[in-house]
Structure 1
Amino acid sequence: MAFLRSLLFALIFYPATLLVCLFALIVAPFGQAPLREVVHFWAKFHYWLVQHVVGIRFEWDGELPNGPYLVAVKHESMVEAVDTLRFAHTPVVVMKRELTTMPLWGWVARRYGVIGVDRKAGASALRTMMKEAKAAAKADRPVIIFPEGTRIPHGERPKLRPGFAGLYKMLGLPVIPIAQDSGSVWPRGFVKHPGTIQVKIGEVIPPGLPRKEVEARVHEAINLLN
């Protein structure tokens, strides 16, 4: 049954994503607002499919405030990568550069506003990330980062990647850590399992803390459900 649910999700979500991207191309000449509405509709549609087709429910503890924050999210599956566009107010998401170069979808993502990071570029990638993150904060948009760098199997707690500390210092923004356990029902691979994803929004961490302290606090907060 889990396989059939996962297959139905894929058969609906990916063709629908193509249609959404094509519609985004149509509305893009009319300004940023309609394009953002299309992207937010896509995120809400994904959320509906996750609940009603895959059979995954969400239990939230806390609420994410609007405004320019650095939001550090535990990353265990694709579901939170899309869902950030729904639960955060017009966020700018830090993601792998390869995703921003995908045909069609990558163009829509860049127009909406994302920060593509080339991990092989070293210091130059960090400088680009800082510049784009500053522009996002200036526009009063939250910056979403997955501080452990990539999808992590549920239960593992790797160290934070250096990019988080660099963003934290450069932006001077408070941090909102988010713990979640999506990997327990949405592991790597094709099959997703019905169940519940818990999401816990941690206490706001103020700007200006020493690197070791902020990293320790964020690491502990995003891993509360592991």
Structure 2
Amino acid sequence: MMALLRSILFALLFYPGTLVYVLTVIAVSPIGDRPVQAVVHAWSAYHHWLVRYLLNIRSLWDGKIPEGAYLIAVKHQSMMEAVDTLHFARSPVVVMKRELTVIPLFGWVTRRYGVIGVDRNAGASALRAMMVEAKAAIAGGRPVIIFPEGTRVPYGQSPPLQSGFAGLYRALGLPVVPVAHDVGRIWGRGFVKQSGIAHFKVGEVIPAGLKREEIETRVHAAINALTP
């Protein structure tokens, strides 16, 4: 019952609060990129605060993501880590499904902040578009965050990596920082979120230039280091 109550309060505070941040981004957008990024990061911090002090979910990190130009590969199990990725690095560009980038108002904000939208049904054309956007991102000195397995997966599952990951890795020529976690253990697909500790593990940096089979094997193992 307490978990349900906390989840209801979280929804009542987070989603209206998100609208406020979205409108704020629109208001400061003409000023420049830095104010936009500052507001988006404040939104992520607001989400993190609600997760920590309202849902009573604490994040425990093993290792630290280094600063610099990296391709950061993250396990995807919930909305929690998807929003928190904005804390993982300095103004990261996030690879996300294109459907999120066309949501009224919110989608405009994601594009204004700088994301890479991927249409998984568009095949080679989607991959080429992703490469162009990713190269533009790293040209501005921003790291790129990707969820290599694609869509969100339930805790305990480890599907193969999507083909776009290896292509992006090869095209960008960046080393990879893999991040594993077990957030899905307490934050699944349902409405109710359980309190507890979410463990994050930063794997060893994987160098650029590896062959496809090797990079996929190493990344898959690293991001599933906390998968039972």
Distance in 1 between the 2:87 and 2:20 partners?
Answer: 19
In the other structure, the counterpart of 2:182 is 181
Describe the superposition over 1:172-213 as per-residue Cα deviations: whole angstroms up to 9, x where unpaired: 100000001100000001110001100001110001111101
In the other structure, the counterpart of 2:122 is 121
In the other structure, the counterpart of 1:44 is 45
Q: How does 1:210-221 map to 2 (within 5 A)?
A: 210-221=211-222
Residue 87 (structure 1) shift? 2.2
Distance in 1 between the 2:8 and 2:137 partners?
Answer: 36
User: What is the DSSP-based 3-state SS (H/G/I as helix, E as strand, rest coil) of the residue aligned with 1:54?
Assistant: coil
Structure 1 residue 106 and structure 2 residue 113: aligned? no
TM superposition score normalised by structure 2: 0.98
Distance in 2 between the 1:168 and 1:86 partners?
Answer: 22
Distance in 2 between the 1:163 and 1:93 partners?
Answer: 14
For 1:65, the aligned partner's letter is: P
Residue 131 (structure 1) shift? 0.6
Deviates more, 1:134-143 or 1:70-79: 134-143
For 1:76, the aligned partner's letter is: Q
In the other structure, the counterpart of 1:57 is 58
Q: How does 1:1-226 map to 2 (within 5 A)?
A: 1-226=2-227
Distance in 2 between the 1:11 and 1:211 partners?
Answer: 44
Structure 1 stretches of 4+ with a deviation exceeding 3 A read none
User: What is the DSSP-based 3-state SS (H/G/I as helix, E as strand, rest coil) of the residue aligned with 2:188?
Assistant: coil
Distance in 2 between the 1:141 and 1:33 partners?
Answer: 13
Structure 2: unaligned runs, 5 residues or longer: none
TM superposition score normalised by structure 1: 0.99
Structural RMSD (CA):
0.6
Structure 1: unaligned runs, 5 residues or longer: none
Distance in 1 between the 2:195 and 2:63 partners?
Answer: 23
Residue 63 (structure 1) shift? 1.0
